[in-house]
Amino acid sequence: MGVLAQLGLILAVGALSAALTGLLRRYALARGIIDVPNARSSHALPTPRGGGVAIVLGTALALPALWAAEVIAPAQLWALLGAGGAVAVVGFADDHGHIAARWRLLAHFSAAAWALAWLGGLPPVPFLTALQMPGWVGAVFGALYLVWMLNLYNFMDGIDGIAGVEAVCTGLGGGALYLLSGHPALSLLPLVLAAAAAGFLCWNFPPAKIFMGDAGSGFLGITLGVLSLQAGWVSPQLFWAWVILLGVFVTDATMTLLRRLLRGEKLYQAHRSHAYQHAARHFGRHRPVTLAVAAINLLWLLPLALGVGSGILDVLAGVVLAYAPLVLLAFRFRAGAAEKQ
């Protein structure tokens, strides 16, 4: 696929996603699929949800074209379509009517198992060699990794624009990683995902006209997880570079979960105790927090990820440098702390 064809595909996916998001907004308003503010909400006005389906459709429609152009292998095509599609369908159903947490979790683990089967399991990643043994250890760890990526993305989709901005930044970063590491053809898939998220972001950037919904956030979470594992099969350093790119979401969601566990809270109960939610209340608006996430991703995490991915920076040093300030920042904005009444 030539450069002009690649650029055309990226622009087409972005435009399609933006147009579909507008149609989904009209659909949500007509069907009454509205997020009504409550005590656990971070927004003040009733807002339609489900716009993330545009990201799903824009990406899914591009995948066969990428396969036909031999940009992705059949195994990657089926891993992404099967896992991402299943998660999106369950999320779409949950957006329309509540599905019990146990059934959602079963679907999530099934999707993770599907993806791992097509990818060939976990890649041989440094510092995880003990988990490369055949059998249940590696399979369980891989499934837990993908399910956590899926759910943390859902947890972090709580203020206007933040999940879309994270997807755009990570997709652009993943594309840059492949370009600089000598795998230019592989850069197209993350760039397509970034374009789909950017199209949706036209409607979701603060103040949001439509929310992403579980279909979109779940799809993005497992897709980014699969892409990070795929990168590990290309080069072990690239896996850790993707982990660095996702650092803001991983740090906030993980620290919040651990502190809530220590307090004995129910993990499935809605809350507003993530660092980004505390920060949004501190500043009184969503936009400064969303823009700060974009700045951290592009100005701090991306250079470190590029250093690790290209071999200039040691993996352990790069991960520590990337995450140490994020942990401090999460503590500063009280990640996982109970909301003050």
**214 among the known binding-site residues?**
yes
CA atoms within 13 A on the CB side of 229: 29
312 phi/psi in degrees, rounded to 5: -70, -35
Pick the closest to residue 32 from 47, 20, 54 (CA basis): 47
Q: What angle do CA 284, 300, 222 make, to 5 degrees?
A: 80
C-alpha to C-alpha distance for 230 and 238, rounded to whole angstroms: 9
**CB of 109 closer than 8 Å to CB of 143:** yes
**154 among the known binding-site residues?**
yes
Structure tokens that stand for 162 in this block: 């933040």
Cα–Cα distance list, 55 to 12, 72, 86, 197, 256 (Å)? 13, 19, 14, 6, 27
Q: Is 182 exposed, middle or buried (0-12, 13-18, 19+ CB in 10 A)?
A: exposed
**Binding-site annotation: residue ranges:** 154, 214
**Binding-site annotation: residue ranges for Mg(2+):** 154, 214
